[in-house]
Amino acid sequence: MADALRDRILSGDLRPGAKLPTQHELAEEFDTNRTAVRQALDTLRREGLLTGTGRGAPPTVAERALSHDAPRKADIELADRLYEAFRAEHVTIDVFSLTTETLNTALAPSTIAISRGELSPRSIAVRVLLPSADARLALPRLVSDPEGRDPRPLERLHELMHTYVSALKGHLETLRMRDLVAEVAVEIRTVPLTPTHKVYLLNGTEALFGYYKVKPRTVRYKGEEMDIHDVVSISTPLFHHAQGPDLHGEHGTAFVAETRQWFDSLWSSIAQPLELG
C-alpha cells in the first residue's frame, strides 16, 4: 500500500495539498485492515510525503513531497531508512565505509522494534566492505607526518574497525539465537582502498550516499595523544536515492542500479574476507 501511494504522489497523480481517502476507504481499496493502513501512512509520513496522519481528518500530501529535502545526518537518516527496510520479509544491507560505527548506531531502533515484535523480518543478510589492514591508506595519519610513515593512526583505525564489526555481528546473531529472526548472515570483506565516501544499499531498492570530510583532531592511543587528520563519520549528511520516478525522471532507479553494480563488482573481484582475531 505504501508503495502504491508513494507512486501516486511521486508521479503527480496526488499533488501537494491533496487529501488522501479516509482510512476506511483505503482499507477497502487495498482489501486490508486499519492497522496495515496506519502503518503504510506512517511510513509515508516518515518519508516526508504526508502530513496529518493521526486520527481525524484524512492525511494530505506534503507541500514539499516532490522537492528534494536537505540531507540529514548519517545516523538519523540511516536509522529511519533501516527501520522502513526492516518491514520487508527478507532484509539485505550492503555497506561500504571506513568502519561500521554509523551502522551499529543506526541499527538500534530496528533491533529494538524486532525485540518488541513491532518488526518481524524472516531473514537479514548484511555485506560490508571495509579498508584492508595491509593497505597504505591515505587516512587517518598524523598531522606532523604527511607521508604517513607512522603506523599508529592506522593501527588505531583497524582496532576500532574490529571492535565495531565484532559488536555488529554479535548483535545481529543475538536476534537469531533468541528466535526473533530465522536467518541471519553477516559477511565482512576488505578492499585495498581509502574510502572517501560511505554507501548503504537497503533491500536493493534504496541507496544512501555520503562524503567523508577530513578534519584535524586529537585522539588517545595506547596512553598517548596524537594529532591526526581524520574523517567525520556519523555527522556527515547522507543523500537518499530510491527506485521509482522523481523530479529527474528515473534518476533514482538508475543511481540505485549503478551503485549496486559498483558494490557487487568490488565484492566479487578484489575483496577479501576479514579475519577477526
Question: How do residues 80-107 score in pLDDT, each as one tens digit?
Answer: 899 989 999 999 999 999 999 999 999 9
Q: Where are the beta strands (DSSP E) in 6-71?
A: 50-51, 60-61
Of 69, 62, 178, residue with least CA distance to 120: 178
Is the pLDDT confidence value at 142 over 90? yes
Location of C-alpha cell 518481524: 120
Which three three-digit cell numbers place residue 131? Answer: 579498508
Q: Is 124 in contact with 172 (CB distance < 8 Å)?
A: yes
Report pLDDT for 108. Answer: 93
Q: Which of 43-57, 178-192, 215-229, 257-271 has the lowest mean pLDDT?
A: 43-57
Q: Is 216 in contact with 227 (CB distance < 8 Å)?
A: yes
Mean pLDDT of 109-114: 93
Mean pLDDT of 250-260: 90
Report pLDDT for 11. Answer: 64
Percent of residues, the chain, with pLDDT higher than 90: 62
Report pLDDT for 190. Answer: 97
Phi, psi at residue 252, to the nearest 5°?
-60, -45
Is the pLDDT confidence value at 248 over 60? no
Residue extents of the structural domains in the chain? 2-61, 72-273
pLDDT band at 205 (very low <50, low <70, confident <90, very high): very high
Q: Which of 70-84, 225-239, 262-276 has the lowest mean pLDDT?
A: 70-84
Q: CATH 1.10.10.10: does it fit domain 2-61?
A: yes
Is the pLDDT confidence value at 210 over 80? yes
pLDDT band at 61 (very low <50, low <70, confident <90, very high): confident
Report pLDDT for 66. Answer: 45
Of 74, 83, 97, residue with least CA distance to 196: 97
**Mean pLDDT, all residues of the chain:** 89
Mean pLDDT of 101-123: 94
pLDDT band at 56 (very low <50, low <70, confident <90, very high): low
Is the pLDDT confidence value at 167 over 60? yes
Rounded to whole angstroms, how far apart are CA atoms 201 and 209? 9
